[in-house]
Amino acid sequence: MTANLTNPIFQNEEKAIAHFEAIRWPDGPVCPHCGVAGEATSVQGKSHRLGMWQCNACREPFTVKVGTVMESSHIPMHKWALAFHLVAASKKGVSAYQLHRMLGITYKSAWFMEHRIREAMRRVDAEPLGGKGKSVEIDETFIGTEAGKVKKRGGGQHKRKVVSLVEHCGDADLQRYLDEFDFRYSNRVAAGVDDVLRTMRAIKGAEGKRLTYKQPRSAQPA
């Protein structure tokens, strides 16, 4: 993993927020409530949270987290920045336990983050890997998507990981693991995607995937 962990976005909350804003809104803030672009005013002052905007069209306040997988989280954005980097830049993923230790947060928070980052990495047009009823080769391992059955050939760590997930976790966890693997493979170095770009794509994917009841009205195709 090539990681510049001294980047201020991993320590400084203001810089972290600016980083997420630049990725989500390259042309300036877009109100996640009414969808109007370029009409928000930064809300400054001691009584306001960092990164707060107010929409001049609908008067609703928002931050860069609203309408993303991070919306309901109280974890600081510089920790989200580091978590996205660690998950997207590592070759085989990072466990919730590693995030818990590396970010100095509870295991429960780390588990929450890991699942949301995987959700961010999920392709919106996601079909089973290789298409319905097809097989796909992953690192010498064959996985059939027919009837949820996993077929494997060859060896390697992925085979053990997949088989172990099927045996112990069930379909939902297997799908999340495959989504993360699929994302990492589609955005691999050999395809010209470095760690920084891959992390940016994962953060970009955080938009429009809020897991709770309220969907952003401005949801646009990524």
Contact call for residues 166 and 183 (beta carbons, < 8 A): no
Distance CA 206, CA 214 (A): 15
Strand partners, 136: 143
Q: Which lies closer to Zn ion via its Cβ, residue 49 or residue 123? A: 49
Q: Kindly state whether residue 55 participates in binding Zn ion, applying the rule CB under 5 A.
A: yes
Q: Kindly state whether residue 52 participates in binding Zn ion, applying the rule CB under 5 A.
A: no
Q: C-beta of 47: minimal distance to Zn ion in Å?
A: 21
58 to 87: interface string for Zn ion, x by CB under 5 A: x-----------------------------
Q: C-beta of 31: minimal distance to Zn ion in Å?
A: 3
Q: Kindly state whether residue 34 participates in binding Zn ion, applying the rule CB under 5 A.
A: yes
Q: Which lies closer to Zn ion via its Cβ, residue 180 or residue 207? A: 207
Q: Which lies closer to Zn ion via its Cβ, residue 34 or residue 196? A: 34
Q: Which lies closer to Zn ion via its Cβ, residue 18 or residue 58? A: 58
Chain-centre distance for alpha carbon 108: 17
Give the burial string for 195-207 (b: 16+ CB within 10 Å, else e).
beebbbbbbebbb
Q: C-beta of 218: minimal distance to Zn ion in Å?
A: 8
Query: What six digits make up the tokens of 55?
Result: 């929409």
> Which residues sit at the interface with Zn ion, rule CB under 5 A?
31, 33-34, 55, 57-58
